[in-house]
A and B are shown apart, each in its own frame.
Chain A
Amino acid sequence: MKIDHSLPLEYSTQENQMKILGFWIFLGAEIMLFATLFASYFVLAPRTGSGPAGSSIFELTPVLAETILLLTSSFTIGLAIHAMRLGRTKPMLVFFGITLILGLAFLGVEIYEFNHYIHVGAALQTSAFTSILLTTLGTHGAHVTFGLVWGLFIMIQIKKNGLTPQTANKSFIFSLYWHFLDVVWIFIFSFIYLKGMM
């Protein structure tokens, strides 16, 4: 395998470059996945049947907490990649770890939130609105959950093998994934919560 030392580790082989480009293309597909969910959400949001409407079940505090947690975690994974490019394995792992902890906290708040919805009578089965609400949030939450496990595996590999072209590449791709989830959350925050509470 040819390693080009003039490039950052994560780009240093042909295979690595292809993986990064391939992941960007995958993110293009993810844009469409969430766009479809948003399209369905906008159509179904007013169709609450006999269930509650968004304005009566959304609470600002947990939503704001989730937003800040995720925004911060997006910042720290950015710092982790920066540290990686400086070749500083230890701070990188620290930032990486903080990211995952913030992600876990986000997930905790989201579980609380779901619990709250079901408590106030907004379950998956209640109405078209609650079905699409919980599915959209759940899809994002499932992505975060997957990311937590994936990130943990990458941390273990860095711990074991150090920063190699492979582990650097995986970390960089993970950071793309994590930033993307943050972008999706911004849209959820704006067009589901804030629009719903407007």
Chain B
Amino acid sequence: MEFFERFAIPHPSPAIYASMVAIGLTVIAIIAGLTYFKKWGYLWREWLTTVDHKRIGIMYLISALLMLFRGGADAIMMRAQLSMPENKLLDAQHYNEIFTTHGVVMIMFMAMPFIMALMNFVVPLQIGARDVAFPRLNALSFWLFFMGAMLFNISFVIGGSPDAGWTSYFPLAGTEFSESVGTNYYMIALQIAGIGTLATGINFMTTILKMRAPGMTLMKMPMFTWSAFITNIIIVFAFPVLTVALAMGTLDRLFASNFFTTNNGGMDMLWANLFWVWGHPEVYILVLPAFGIYSEIISTFARRNLYGYKSMVASMVIISLLSFLVWVHHFFTMGQGAFVNSIFSITTMAIAVPTGVKIFNWLFTLWKGKIVITTPMLYSLLFIPLFTIGGVTGVMLGMSAADYQYHNTMFLVAHFHLVIIPGVVFAMLAGLTYYWPKMFGFMLNERLGKLSAWIISISTLVAFIPMFFSGLDGQARRMYTYSEQAGFTMWNMISFVGAAGLAIGFALIVYNIYYSIRYAPRDIGSDPWDARSLEWATHSPVPEYNFAIVPNVDSTEAFWDAKKKGHKLFKGELEKIHMPNNSPIPFIMSSIFFVWGFSFVFAMWIPLIIATIGIFGCMAYQSFEKDHGRYISVEEIKETEEKLGGPTV
């Protein structure tokens, strides 16, 4: 019995017990459902062992949506707690846990997989490739992310959630002030997911450099592919910093080392420093693919080619370098002195320039365009004003002297939500709607889609604009309650209304998906938006080999030119196609990683050692395995093409 006591929740409440029951019932329902409908084999063959970038993209997408609702539930609880002074809905400890998991889930397990979903699905299609450079590594990346996310999510029913904030600053995150295993979960779950992300970065950089269709030079790549390329460069150079910081944090917590402690020379500020050396590039990892999506959507629905292609590319390259030069602006108040703060203030201001260039390029693309307002376009248009509010308040925060006033207040919270929601979430919802027909062969309902875009946009403003005011009035972030005399009541009540609106908006998206699955027409062809780049030149849904014949490209908008100017995309005859085989190794290895992580969290060394051996065993097996893939015959391709309706261009 003593053994099991460590798994108990240190700070239980009826809500957590209810969640335990709910999780248990869901798991039983899923297992029973799969068994009853005899879907285990299907699940294993088609999904768990797949190495197809499109299926992996869809699995990322599903995970991201699930995590969106997990993180959203946290958000609603926080806003409900703060909606009234002296509210008793949550106590301080629960509030701490909830804002921590909200932050981590939304950044690491919602936004990251969402961009991974779109990159996985779209990039190989846009460059005319059959898959990514290393399909198995890609599957491993997904499963590592997934297991990391699951490990993090079970924390609130087994052992307790982390409660030191998503930034997990030491010494608060050290064992002295965070005794429960919660912060161990943080360190190890992020480590596992982070390894997966790093592998994705390497994979996509190689894919984009080596697998482009003939004729597609770097400066003829579609803008989303460019943004994905730059993003993956940032991933490759930023994530190792997180790896090291998390490893050092883990050593501090489990092996009593002295990196971030307050005695024996330890330096708690070093954690903040390393965290943001990774953390600031991470912001650009999230927002650059979003910019790429907007570029695609805006030029598609303005019916014009993108204005200033070269300046778009140049600004992203500059952003990728500058993103590594600004991290100190996250902790101007830590005491590093005016000289250091001034340097980082200036670099921070500088990064607004390339970002501004991009905004103007979109506006110039719209100028004299024949604008068609579809759901993805509506998100893109609403993004510009909302993001500008987030952007200019960011410049305010970037001025180090003024930052002493704003630091760690609700003003900051309002700023970064107004950057990330329009900047990333809108783009992902726009991308979801835009690529949905390519993924599934039918469109999402436009009327419901536009309605949810409006509800989400207005609710975002209602939820976060009040925080600017309450922040300037002195409401600190992360405080779980306030007195009536403080005068924050009205602002927080308005915020709560906005949060409820956001919940309605997202629920409407779910309803839209359900509605469209049932009622949307299926005969929409392969190019329902009249789009411009290669992904629309193949069938919807996309056959596993992507393109029957590898396309030949001679402009930035190959498919548009093929449609309008009669360029021939697909030259030559059908040939047998080489494809990689499915493999269970990524899934099995990641599952062992889950066990490894769980053992690590609870410092159970024997299972940890066994799991470590298991992981290396998988790698050894992989090393010795001889698998040269398989071929799809010409007859098979012909049959598939026939079934999907013949040639597309």
Direct A/B contact, Cβ within 8 angstroms: yes
- Tell me the A residues contacting B by CB distance below 8 Å: 1, 14, 17-19, 21-22, 25-26, 28-30, 32-33, 36-37, 39-40, 43-44, 47-51, 124-132, 135, 149-150, 153-154, 157, 166, 170
Q: Which residues of A contact B517 (CB under 8 A)?
A: none
Residues of B within 8 Å of A17, CB to CB, are: 210
Least CB distance, A143 to chain B, in whole angstroms: 13
A28/B264 in contact, CB under 8 A = no
Q: Are B257 and A131 neighbours in the complex by a CB distance under 8 Å?
A: yes
Question: Which residue of chain A has the shortest Cβ distance to B616 in the bound complex?
Answer: A149
- Cβ contact of A128, chosen from B201, B247, B255, B266, cutoff 8 A: B266
Can you list 13 A-B contacts (CB < 8 A)? A17-B210, A19-B134, A25-B236, A33-B241, A44-B259, A48-B265, A49-B264, A49-B265, A49-B266, A128-B261, A128-B264, A135-B251, A154-B623
Number of B interface residues in the complex (CB < 8 A): 44
Bound-state CA distance A153–B624 (Å) is 8
The total of interchain contacts (Cβ-Cβ below 8 angstroms) comes to 122
Most buried by B among A25, A50, A166: A25
In the complex formed, the residue of B with least CB distance to A36 is B244
Known: A40-B274, A43-B267. A25 touches B205 (CB 8 A): yes
Complex Cα gap A63–B620 (Å) = 32
Pairwise interchain contact A129-B244, C-beta atoms closer than 8 A: no
Residue B308 interfacial (CB < 8 Å): no
Is the CB of B404 closer than 8 A to any CB of chain A?
no
How many angstroms between the C-alpha atoms of A166 and B244 in the bound complex?
32
B209 at the interface (CB under 8 A from A): yes
Expressed in whole angstroms, the minimum distance between the Cβ of B213 and any Cβ of chain A is 14
- Of residues 605 through 625 on chain B, the ones whose CB sits less than 8 Å from some CB of chain A are 616, 620, 623-624
Q: A18-B210, A29-B239 are in contact. Are A135 and B264 (CB under 8 A)?
A: no
Assess whether B256 is in contact with A125, with CB atoms less than 8 Å apart: yes
Pick the contact of B240: A18, A29, A129 (CB < 8 A).
A29
Q: Which residues of chain B are within 8 angstroms of A131 by Cβ–Cβ distance?
A: 248, 251, 257-259, 266
Judge whether B265 and A129 touch: CB under 8 Å. Answer: yes
Query: Please, which residues of chain B bring their CB within 8 A of the CB of A21?
Result: 206, 209-210
B485 at the interface (CB under 8 A from A): no
Of chain B, the residue at the smallest CB distance from A129 is B265
Report the Cα distance A154→B257, complex, angstroms: 36
Which residues on A sit within 8 Å (CB–CB) of B265? 44, 47-49, 51, 127-129
Q: Determine whether the beta carbon of A37 is less than 8 Å from that of B206.
A: no
Return the CB mask of B224-249 against A: 1 if under 8 Å, else 0. 00000000000011111101110110
CB neighbours (8 Å) of B616 from chain A are 149
Which of A32, A33, A43, A153 gathers most chain B CB within 10 Å? A32
Q: How far is the CB of B255 from chain A (nearest CB, A)?
A: 6
Q: Across the interface, do A32 and B257 meet the contact criterion of CB distance under 8 Å?
A: no
Answer whether residue B133 sits at the interface, using C-beta atoms and an 8 A cutoff. Answer: yes
Q: Is the CB of B210 within 8 A of A14?
A: yes
> With a CB–CB cut-off of 8 A, which chain B residues contact A126?
258, 264
B242 to nearest A CB, angstroms? 9
Q: Does B263 lie at the interface of the complex (its beta carbon under 8 Å from any beta carbon of A)? A: yes
The answer to whether A22 and B134 have CB atoms under 8 Å apart is yes
| Interface check B628, CB cutoff 8 A | yes
A49 near B206 (CB under 8 angstroms)?
A: no
Which one, A22, A44, A127, A132, contacts B202 given CB within 8 A? A22
| B259 engages A33 (CB within 8 Å) | no
Docked-complex contact A1 and B237, CB < 8 angstroms: no
CA of A146 to CA of B646, assembled, Å = 51
Task: Name the residue of chain A whose CB is nearest to the CB of B271.
Answer: A40
Indicate if the CB atoms of B264 and A124 lie closer than 8 Å. no
Residue contact B241 to A32, C-beta cutoff 8 Å: yes
**CB-based contact A26/B202 at 8 Å:** yes
Question: Residue among B133, B209, B616 with the most chain A CB within 10 A?
Answer: B133
For residue A17, which residue of chain B has the nearest CB?
A: B210
Instruction: Scan residues 202-219 of chain B and give those whose CB is less than 8 A from a CB of chain A.
Output: 202-203, 205-206, 209-211
Residue on B with the closest CB to A146? Answer: B616
Q: Which residues of B contact A (CB under 8 A)?
A: 133-134, 198, 201-203, 205-206, 209-211, 236-241, 243-245, 247-248, 251, 255-259, 261, 263-267, 270, 274, 277, 578, 616, 620, 623-624, 626, 628
Q: Which 8 A-B pairs have the closest CB atoms?
A: A47-B265, A49-B264, A128-B265, A49-B265, A33-B240, A131-B257, A32-B240, A36-B244
Residue of B nearest to A131 (CB): B257
Closest A residue to B278 using CB positions: A36
Are A36 and B274 interface neighbours, CB within 8 A?
A: yes
Hey, which chain A residues are within 8 Å of B247, CB to CB? 135
B210 & A127 in contact (Cβ 8 Å cutoff): no
Indicate if the CB atoms of A29 and B259 lie closer than 8 Å: no
Bound CA–CA A6/B202 (angstroms): 27
Residues of A within 8 A of B251 (CB): 124, 131, 135
Residues of chain B lying within 8 A (CB to CB) of residue A153: 620, 623-624
Residue of A22, A125, A157 contacting most chain B CB atoms (<10 Å): A22
Q: In the bound complex, do residue B620 and residue A30 qualify as a contact, i.e. CB atoms below 8 Å apart?
A: no
Which single residue of chain A is at the shortest CB-CB distance from B132?
A18
Q: Do residues A36 and B202 form an inter-chain contact, with CB atoms below 8 A?
A: no
A30–B244 Cα distance when bound, in Å, is: 11
Contact, CB under 8 Å: A22 / B239: no
Q: Known interface pairs A21-B206, A22-B134, A125-B257. Does A32 touch B264 (Cβ–Cβ under 8 Å)? A: no
Which residues from B are CB-within-8-Å of A32?
236-238, 240-241
What residues of A have a CB within 8 angstroms of the CB of B261 in the complex?
128
In the complex the two chains form, is B133's CB within 8 Å of A22's CB? yes
- What CA separation (Å) do A50 and B265 show in the bound complex? 8
Determine whether the beta carbon of A124 is less than 8 Å from that of B270.
no
Contact B620 A127 (CB under 8 A): no
Give min CB distance, B282 to chain A, whole Å. Answer: 14
Among A26, A40, A166, contact of B259 (Cβ-Cβ < 8 Å): A40
Enumerate chain B residues within 8 angstroms of A25, measured Cβ to Cβ: 201-202, 205-206, 236
Whether A1 and B210, one on each chain, are in contact in the complex, defined by CB atoms closer than 8 angstroms, is: no
B202 A29 Cβ-Cβ under 8 A:
yes
Residues of A within 8 A of B244 (CB): 33, 36-37, 40
Q: Which residues of chain B are within 8 angstroms of A47 by Cβ–Cβ distance?
A: 265-267
- Tell me which residues across on chain B come within 8 A of A18, comparing CB atoms: 133-134, 206, 210-211
CB distance from B209 to the nearest CB of A (A): 6
User: CA of A129 to CA of B267 in the docked complex: distance in angstroms?
Assistant: 10
Q: How far, in Å, is A139 (CB) from chain B's closest CB?
A: 8
Assuming the A-B contacts A44-B259, A47-B266, A127-B265, are A135 and B202 also in contact, with contact meaning beta carbons closer than 8 angstroms in the complex? no
- Pairwise interchain contact B245-A36, C-beta atoms closer than 8 A: yes
User: In the complex, A56 Cα to B463 Cα: how many Å?
Assistant: 59
Return B477 CB to nearest CB of chain A, in Å. 28
Identify the interface centre among B257, B259, B274, B616: most chain A CB within 10 Å of its CB.
B257
A sample of 17 more A-B contacts (CB under 8 A), given A32-B236, A131-B257, A131-B266, is A1-B628, A18-B133, A19-B134, A22-B134, A22-B202, A29-B198, A29-B239, A32-B240, A37-B244, A39-B274, A44-B270, A47-B266, A49-B266, A126-B258, A128-B261, A135-B259, A170-B623
In contact, B263 and A49 (Cβ under 8 angstroms): yes
Q: A25-B202, A36-B240, A125-B256 are in contact. Are A50 and B248 (CB under 8 A)?
A: no
A11 to chain B, nearest CB (A): 12
Kindly state the separation between the CA atoms of A51 and B264 in the bound complex, as whole angstroms.
Answer: 8
Q: How far is the CB of A24 from chain B (nearest CB, A)?
A: 9
Cα distance, A37 to B251, chains bound together (Å): 14
Point out the residues of chain A lying under 8 angstroms from B238, CB to CB: 32
C-alpha spacing A168/B626, complex, angstroms = 14
B270 close to A29 (CB less than 8 A): no
